[in-house]
A and B are shown apart, each in its own frame.
Chain A
């Protein structure tokens, strides 16, 4: 079993550039949403939730895809670094998925007249959230570090099956959820499309920034545990 002996990385120039770029993009996205893009004719001002809601949804998929990839890498290489990244991505993914599940009903209430309906997209997203909550619960319940990482990796791979189901649910089943991306492309006005891409870039950068921070916490914790074992053995 390979382990890593890492010193906690200091705040580097790359992280500072990423932080600055994220800040600028977030400000730009807020300007585009609240000032630049025109208000949608049918839904009115509440439609502006859409830009962050969709961006958060895309990043939820991205986070769980990272869990999937790093779980495969862990099982293949048996290096704890991959497990730390997978764990971090799962936690960040849950935060993003929670925001999707909160902003969706806030948008739905004035448009559909209800906070929640057992629609295919909503239900599969809730199941996705529950799967990764179970992933974190499994991590806290399993035994040794190696056992924990192995079980979590298998769960992280199997759990990813729900991601394509969530994405295609609006095509496979009858749904009231809006379908933005169709086979013919994005059905949006040019200003809306531009705002959508700016918001997507901003939330993706923010996601990467938070994930970097979370991985740093994971690495620091791993180093601390290793040092504690080393000191205990030395005494």
Chain B
């Protein structure tokens, strides 16, 4: 079982990076989706004023 620490380190790095990247992507998607939903409410015909949603104020 010599060099077990190297094997452990390699697989730890692989899964940390992969899960970390997937987590970042999910958060990015969620935040864009939220902004998109807020802006869609401002579109003509949606019956809401842009003043009702903070996303439209910028």
Q: Spell out A's residues near B (CB within 8 Å).
A: 8, 44-46, 48-49, 52-53, 56, 95, 98-99, 102-103, 106-107, 109-110, 206, 210, 213-214, 216-217, 220-221, 223-224, 227-228, 230-231, 234-235
Contact = CB atoms under 8 A, between A and B. Distances in A.
A36 to B, nearest CB: 16
Contact of B13 (A44, A103, A206, A216): A103
B28 interface: yes
Contacts of B36: 8, 220, 223-224, 227
Most chain-A CB neighbours within 10 Å: which of B6, B25, B39, B42?
Answer: B6
Per DSSP, chain B at the interface is helix
Interface of B: 1-4, 6-7, 9-11, 13-14, 17-18, 21-22, 25-26, 28-29, 32-33, 35-36, 39-40, 42-44, 50, 56
Given A213-B25, A217-B25, A220-B29, A227 B10 contact: no
A103 B10 contact: yes
Contacts of A110: 2-3, 6
A98 B13 CA distance: 11
B44 A234 contact: yes
Given A52-B10, A110-B6, 7 more contacts: A49-B7, A56-B14, A99-B13, A99-B14, A99-B17, A213-B25, A227-B39
